[in-house]
Structure 1
Amino acid sequence: MTDIRRSLLRRDALSAAKEVLYHLDIHFSNQLQNTAAPVVDNGSVELVEEFVFNMPKHRSMQGKKMTSLQELQLLEITCSYFQEQGKDSLRQIIFSALFSPQSNVADDRRMAMLGKLVSMAVAVCRVPVLECAASWLQRSPASHCTRLAKVLVDDYCSWAPGPAHALRDIVTISPRFCSQFITAVTTLYDLSSDDLIPSSDLLKMVVTWVHDNPHLTLLTFLSAPIPSSHPPGALDSTPLLGLIRWCVKSPLAYKRHRKPLLAPSLGATLALGPAEEDRVGGSLYSMLHLSVLQILVSLRADLAEQHLYGARGGAVTRARGQARRRPGLPGGRAEPRRRCCGNRALLEQAGAGPAGCHGSGGVAVLQRGPEVPLLQTAIQ
């Protein structure tokens, strides 16, 4: 690494960054020939931080700075590299070497470049970059994931009436990235304050995605291996949890904060009064609520198809059933809930058993099946 560093020090900033990418490609290609899971070593991280993110190795040294044009050229070079690299495993490990958070001062520059790179990939439909970003969202801390989501929301939802077509189309270009993006957005906009209530344009886009593509919310959940434990500080394994939180908390959030919504049909130009605001927001959240219920109804069949039914939530369900048993009921059966807001028939069609709802604006709680831990986590 010392010889490589000396060679890079003699180059200009853009040329040195390009050379680092070339070095990483050779370095990890050799590792992949010997192992299926190469590890990003400290030497590679140091080269990336010094010559890609321009962080000097020693405080006494002054880092090289790129001009705005050079930064744009580097983004284009990086985007093209991931597009042209045919090995997904190599793309993933190099993306990790470039952008995995290291909990140091270089993280701000790392996140800044990542935001610009993913935003460019959305604009020019670079699927390999979006797929790498989806994997990055799965394994990175939620605080970094929400920061990336905020960059995309600002770039594509804040400067023009309605979200840009490029962002709306990611559902067909990269469904996996779209699923992770929804998870990050629902984590970012947790409805806890005025600034953390999604705009009507963003809300409408997410609701449309979920309504038109119900399996999008379970894409990562069903395809990824069942983790032994959830990484602390990571995003939820499915956007379904965040969407349920939106359904549960939205009536309180809009009633308390009265954030002006924008009429979806008129773009971002017409502010609505409180009554009209409630009507527009209520219709979107009602549509989302219905979509979530339909997803839960189909969840049993989806899990059974993947041979996962019973693998999730069995212990929780048995414990709940034992707690609800009363002496005197034939066979020790659990006493069914008697409250219902009209969704019981829909839920029982899926064989979910007795169900109860938290009022007309709540989310149904299934009595048995794999959905229980999902809902418990969401409502906590």
Structure 2
Amino acid sequence: MGDIRQSLLPRDVLSAAKELLYHLDIYICNLVQSGRQPPQVDAKTLELVEEFILHAPKDRNAPARKMSALQELQLLEIMCSCFQEQSRDTVRQLMFSALFHIQGNQADESRMVLLGKLVSMAVAVGRVPILECAATWLQRTHRVYCVRLAQVLVDDYCSMVPGSVPTLQNIHSMSPRFCCQFITAVSTLYDLSSEELVPPLELLQMIVSWIQEDPRLVLITFLNTPLSGSQPISSLDVTPLGSLVRWCVKAPLAYRNEKKQVLANRSADSEPDPRPLFSALHLSVLQVFMLLPNVLNEKGLFGRLALLQMESVAALTSDLSRLLDQADKHAHTSAAGAQVPPQLALDRLAQALQVAMASGALLCSREDLRPICSRLPHNNLLQLVLSGPVMYYNNIHTPPLAYSPHAAHSPIASHAPLPTRSPHTPLTSHAQYPAQPFMSGMPFAFRPGH
């Protein structure tokens, strides 16, 4: 495609971009039809994309070509139509990659700005092919860029335009794959490490409602991704379970002060207390863990693949220890109930560890956990989990993967299952751990009122 550059130079910026998209579509269609494996867009074509769509000047001394706001809107509409009209998913995915794959150069900033605007428009106008391509992009891209894209959507639909949250909520039905990746990205972004990194209430309500409606939503990426071992360190986790556990455990401490019970610039009178939402989320996450034994057994992965990493648990306990130290220092500002949030956080940690080990999501022994939890204050439930009972309860009654009271409408039903692997295929370096027991006769200390 390098020979079309001279024909694009005299054109105005919008016309040149539109013409290049047209030629790019034809070029990728021919590339796919040629049967070349893997089909790969050549470097000269990528340079044309950067010059005429992302407007990165070929010559550093040349002035950058810029679009007006109206021209940019027209380009986004053209791109939406281009992806919508292309019926072959392979072509769409290659085209999306040619436009937005992070190259590690000066064009990446323009690439991210355009991507954020395109995906935001796709959400607004219901362009499912773009959301499906964006889901794949989120799976393959460094997490730093993934959380940037998530931040754009949160800003657009939860902050800037009042009443636009239902539009974003529709991604659950439009593209469950994108919805799952979006949950993973935002739960990575908002780590509750500061007041600014607490998820907006509208976002929290949305995520809780999604998972309550279908707990298996957060497993879609895992179910539809051939796993060869471990995910690249730089990518998003294959499920958001680790990040959601972190939300639930840290929430009682992040909201321990009245000023943190409401979002910035909003009054306590107009904003509901978010703590019950975190309680509901905690219960939903435990229900997702309860689904895993059947899921992992069906795939031959039980005891061989950890969906909750020990590194994530260690980081969480370290954060929790620090937050509890801070809570101790401020305990005098509260009355006798000052210890409720710390104990609730520890209860939730104990419950999550207990259920994750029993379900095969966390591959470790109690001996592995004890040093990690050694700095935490005493908590009865946590102590029971770490010491372990004598009796095992391995008969975990969970519905099979295909079962759902709404199976016909389940988003997972529309996706191909994870390919079955040989039982001898090495997947991870983890030792095979047995399912860890539940506490015999020990109910969860779940307190929905807190």
Alignment CA distance shift 1:257-1:271 (3 Å): closer
- In structure 2, how many angstroms separate the alpha carbons of the residues matched to 1:53 and 1:195? 31
After superposition, give the CA deviation of every residue in 1:3-27 in whole Å (9 maximum; x if it has no partner): 2111111211111111211221122
- In structure 2, how many angstroms separate the alpha carbons of the residues matched to 1:322 and 1:197? 33
Q: What amino acid does structure 2 have at the position aligned with 1:22?
A: Y
After TM superposition, the runs of 4+ consecutive aligned structure 1 residues lying more than 6 A away are 321-324
Aligned to 2:396: 350
Work out whether 1:303 is the aligned partner of 2:296.
yes
Q: How many Å apart are 1:167 and its aligned residue?
A: 0.4
- Count of equivalent residues: 337
After superposition, give the CA deviation of every residue in 1:316-337 in whole Å (9 maximum; x if it has no partner): 84x637979xxxxxxxxxxxx9
After superposition, give the CA deviation of every residue in 1:314-361 in whole Å (9 maximum; x if it has no partner): 8984x637979xxxxxxxxxxxx9726xxx99x86627542479x957
Q: What amino acid does structure 2 have at the position aligned with 1:88?
A: D
Alignment CA distance shift 1:76-1:163 (3 Å): closer
After superposition, give the CA deviation of every residue in 1:26-74 in whole Å (9 maximum; x if it has no partner): 2222221222431232212111110001111011212322111111110
- In structure 2, how many angstroms separate the alpha carbons of the residues matched to 1:283 and 1:77? 44
Aligned to 2:384: 339
Aligned to 1:289: 282
Aligned to 2:4: 4
Residues 28-43 of structure 1 mapped to structure 2, 5 A cutoff: 28-33=28-33, 34-43=35-44
Q: How many Å apart are 1:239 and its aligned residue?
A: 1.5
- In structure 1, how many angstroms separate the alpha carbons of the residues matched to 2:283 and 2:361? 28
Alignment CA distance shift 1:113-1:310 (3 Å): same
Residues 177-256 of structure 1 mapped to structure 2, 5 A cutoff: 177-255=178-256
Alignment CA distance shift 1:316-1:114 (3 Å): closer
Alignment CA distance shift 1:30-1:271 (3 Å): same
- In structure 2, how many angstroms separate the alpha carbons of the residues matched to 1:110 and 1:74? 14
Aligned to 1:14: 14
> Which 5+ residue runs of structure 1 have no aligned equivalent?
263-267, 325-336, 363-380
- In structure 1, how many angstroms separate the alpha carbons of the residues matched to 2:99 and 2:258? 40
Q: How many Å apart are 1:308 and its aligned residue?
A: 3.5
Q: What amino acid does structure 1 have at the position aligned with 2:279?
A: S
Aligned to 1:24: 24
- In structure 1, how many angstroms separate the alpha carbons of the residues matched to 2:85 and 2:180? 24
Question: What fraction of aligned residue pairs are identical, expressed as a percent?
Answer: 52
- In structure 2, how many angstroms separate the alpha carbons of the residues matched to 1:70 and 1:64? 12
Which structure's relative contact order is higher, taking Cα pairs within 8 Å and 6+ residues apart? Answer: 2
SS in 1 for 2:199: coil
SS in 2 for 1:280: coil
Contact residue 13 and residue 65 of structure 1 kept, 8 A: yes
> Which 5+ residue runs of structure 2 have no aligned equivalent?
307-359, 370-381, 398-434
Contact residue 261 and residue 274 of structure 2 kept, 8 A: no
Q: How many Å apart are 1:223 and its aligned residue?
A: 1.6
More deviation, 41-50/221-230: 221-230
Q: What amino acid does structure 2 have at the position aligned with 1:272?
A: A
- In structure 2, how many angstroms separate the alpha carbons of the residues matched to 1:132 and 1:138? 10
Aligned to 1:312: 305
Q: CA RMSD in A?
A: 3.1
- In structure 2, how many angstroms separate the alpha carbons of the residues matched to 1:181 and 1:322? 35
